[in-house]
Amino acid sequence: MYLGIDLGTSEVKVLLIDQAQAVVASAHAPLAISRPQPQWSEQDPADWWRATLAAIGTIARSHPRQLAALRGIGLSGQMHGTVLLDAAGRVLRPAILWNDTRAGAECAELERRAPQLRAITGNLAMPGFSAPKLLWVASHEAELFARTAMVLLPKDYLRYLLTGEFISDMSDASGTLWLDVARRDWSEAMLQACGLSLAQMPRLVEGSAPGGMLRAELARDWGIAAPAQVVVAGGAGDNAASAVGMGVVAPGEGFISLGTSGVLFAASDAYRPNPAQGLHTFCHALPGQWHQMGVMLSAASCLRWVTQLTHAADEAALLDEIALAGPAAYQAAPLFLPYLSGERTPHNDPHASGVWFGLRHDTDRALLGYSVLEGVAFGLRDSYLALQAAGGSMRGAALVGGGSRSRYWARLLASALDLPLSLHSGGEVGAALGAARLALLAANPQLGVAEVCVAPPVLEVVAPEAQWQAALLPRFERFRALYGQLKPLF
């Protein structure tokens, strides 16, 4: 048996699979976010551990015989978060999360200190990344920074408690701005720019390689028959883990996630950065592979927001209203800039805000809802164009995340991107399944990636619609022009 642990922002999910990758059991436990000040987003790492123990405990009680046969654990986690430990391994402060934007000024300072940043990391300095957060801590919490002995990413804090070791993987480390992404190793120059050293960084392994062994006392607590044989894989950042779970491992393969944030992910066999347009270029979770990724900070969260704002019964009801509007939606709807939390790709602008442009007396709830769906689609088109500018490509993409449940949104997105989108069974467990697959590979080195990382069955392929696409293209050009005009005003 193999366990995948996915540490998300809103919950911890665990998934138990057997050697044939059949799902045996799953469980989850919720998490809360603390926002003590504007732009801040934090979590207590102790809450992650409590949630992990609770979720695994559920499986231990419901499937004790199966969990007893555990041979591997894989970890997936929200990226960029910072867990600071002192010399005794104690957490020094709440973790600063990926969607925390307090470190905008520190991004400019980091680029000043390390002019080679983009060449080394393949990315822009963005407030959500780890390195600017450490500059903020050094500036605002100097005494605490001086006591920092180890810096871990969220899932690697779980690994520390599972194994007692400080280890990370290449994909997650790519989001710190401390990794030389082409060389797949820590960059001493980038660490020095933040007042850090290699001694404060975990050891690096590939995502499918062993990354520690489960502590004997935990194995006993969970009733595992052979505790000395449970390997913990290197694991992956959440998007790379989702890609492994969706079988997106070869060049030309990709996925789009319509979750709280929006992600356009393309697998690559080479290092092809495009930092100028905010495209992320990271190591993949598998040896010798990379991936390119456009990220927008608000996607399905925009749909939740407009549903609440307009007092629709729920998101499904609003989507039904939008669909009934027909072609009038894209003929009369206002334009929407989906920057409710600022934006990453392509603008790297934490000050960008959401905007409705073109409101009239006859603008109703359906048109407002349509404009929001379209604005998110246009944000992902921005990412797709940035990917193409970097030499990346996708033949098609799997569509995952909560927003993928809407066929209407899928048709709109396929038409905006001019890209066929496939809907798969099991997409909702992508990251947890990817983590479990990495555990399977780490515990069984004789297995090949191609035989383990297969795509789940396709339920439907949503093709672009020519008439819709023709209507969208001029609206997209106005969408892009609108941000350019408003940027100085944000």
Residue 337 is inside which H or E element, if any?
A: strand 335-337
At 39-72, the pLDDT tens digits run 899 999 999 999 999 999 999 999 999 999 999 9
At 430-442, the pLDDT tens digits run 899 999 999 999 9
Greater confidence (19 vs 226) lies with 19
- Domain boundary pick from 199, 234, 269: 234
Whether residue 71 lies inside any domain: the answer is: yes
Nearest by Cα to 157 from 56, 101, 236, 82: 82
Q: Is 21 left (phi over 0), alpha (psi -120 to 50) or beta?
A: left
Decide if 13 contacts 3 (C-beta within 8 A). Answer: no
At 67-86, the pLDDT tens digits run 999 999 999 999 999 999 99
Same domain, 267 and 207: no
At 304-314, the pLDDT tens digits run 999 999 999 99
- Residues forming beta bridges with residue 150, ordered by sequence position: 85
Contacts by 309-317, CB closer than 8 A, 24 or more apart = 310/365, 310/368, 310/369, 312/365, 312/369
Whether residue 16 lies inside any domain: the answer is: yes
Whether residue 409 lies inside any domain: the answer is: yes
The CATH number of whichever domain residue 398 belongs to comes to 3.30.420.40
* pLDDT at site 227: 67
Same domain, 106 and 13: yes
Q: Give the pair of three-digit tokens for residue 12.
A: 């911890």
Which amino acid, 89?
Answer: G
Whether residue 240 lies inside any domain: the answer is: no
Same domain, 208 and 276: no
CA distances to 58, 194, 313, 355 from 336, in Å: 43, 38, 22, 6
At 179-202, the pLDDT tens digits run 999 999 999 999 999 999 999 999
Tell me whether residue 347 is annotated as binding: no
Q: Is the pLDDT of residue 490 over 70?
A: yes
- Residues forming beta bridges with residue 480, ordered by sequence position: none
| Boundaries of domain holding 309 | 247-424+457-490
Whether residue 310 lies inside any domain: the answer is: yes
Per DSSP, the three-state class of 83 is: strand
Decide if 126 contacts 99 (C-beta within 8 A). Answer: no
- Domain boundary pick from 200, 234, 268: 234
Whether residue 475 lies inside any domain: the answer is: yes
Domain count, the chain: 2
pLDDT band at 27 (very low <50, low <70, confident <90, very high): very high
Q: Are strands 290-296 and 262-268 parallel, antiparallel or unpaired?
A: antiparallel
At 249-270, the pLDDT tens digits run 999 899 999 988 899 999 998 8
* pLDDT at site 278: 84
Greater confidence (13 vs 404) lies with 13
Greater confidence (483 vs 225) lies with 483
Q: What are phi and psi of 195, to 5 degrees?
A: 75, 25
Same domain, 210 and 155: yes
- Kindly give the residue spans of alpha helices, DSSP state H, lying in 63-176: 64-68, 104-113, 117-121, 130-140, 142-146, 154-163, 170-173
Same domain, 52 and 111: yes
CA gap 443, 107 in Å, rounded? 40
CA gap 95, 198 in Å, rounded? 20
Q: Is the pLDDT of residue 428 over 70?
A: no
Q: Are strands 72-77 and 2-7 parallel, antiparallel or unpaired?
A: parallel
How many CA atoms within 13 Å lie on the side-chain side of 84? 24
Nearest by Cα to 476 from 376, 346, 387, 326: 376
Residues with active-site annotation: 238
Q: H/E/C letters for each residue in 433-444?
A: HHHHHHHHHHHC
The sign of the torsion formed by the CA atoms of 230, 232, 238, 239 equals negative
pLDDT band at 319 (very low <50, low <70, confident <90, very high): very high
The CB density around residue 236, as the number of other CB atoms within 10 Å, is 36
Q: What are phi and psi of 176, to 5 degrees?
A: -95, -25
Q: 61-74 burial, b if ≥16 CB within 10 A, otherwise e?
A: eebeebbebbbbbb
**R_g (Cα) of the chain, nearest Å:** 22
Whether residue 430 lies inside any domain: the answer is: no
**Angle between the N-to-C axes of helices 430-443 and 238-246, in degrees from 0 to 180, rounded to the nearest 10:** 80
Same domain, 224 and 262: no
Please list, in sequence order, all residues whose beta carbon lies within 8 angstroms of the beta carbon of residue 135, skipping any fewer than 6 positions away. 103, 106, 109, 110, 194
* pLDDT at site 459: 92
Q: Is the pLDDT of residue 427 over 70?
A: no
- Domain boundary pick from 206, 234, 262: 234
Same domain, 327 and 376: yes
Please list, in sequence order, all residues whose beta carbon lies within 8 angstroms of the beta carbon of residue 274, skipping any fewer than 6 positions away. 281, 292, 386, 387, 389, 390
Same domain, 204 and 262: no
Nearest by Cα to 130 from 143, 140, 142, 121: 121
CA distances to 311, 331, 383, 411 from 370, in Å: 15, 11, 20, 12
Please list, in sequence order, all residues whose beta carbon lies within 8 angstroms of the beta carbon of residue 294, skipping any fewer than 6 positions away. 263, 264, 278, 279, 280, 344, 345, 346, 380, 382, 383, 384, 386, 387
Please list, in sequence order, all residues whose beta carbon lies within 8 angstroms of the beta carbon of residue 182, skipping any fewer than 6 positions away. 122, 271
Mean pLDDT, residues 150-178 taken together? 98
Same domain, 53 and 176: yes
pLDDT band at 274 (very low <50, low <70, confident <90, very high): confident
Same domain, 198 and 322: no
Per DSSP, the three-state class of 114 is: coil
Tell me the pLDDT of the chain averaged across its residues: 94
Mean pLDDT, residues 386-405 taken together? 89
Q: Are strands 185-186 and 458-462 parallel, antiparallel or unpaired?
A: unpaired
CA gap 315, 319 in Å, rounded? 6
* pLDDT at site 228: 75
Q: What percent of the chain has pLDDT over 70?
A: 99
CA gap 297, 419 in Å, rounded? 22
* pLDDT at site 426: 67
Same domain, 230 and 285: no
Whether residue 445 lies inside any domain: the answer is: no
Same domain, 253 and 226: no
Tell me whether residue 140 is annotated as binding: no
CA gap 269, 185 in Å, rounded? 17
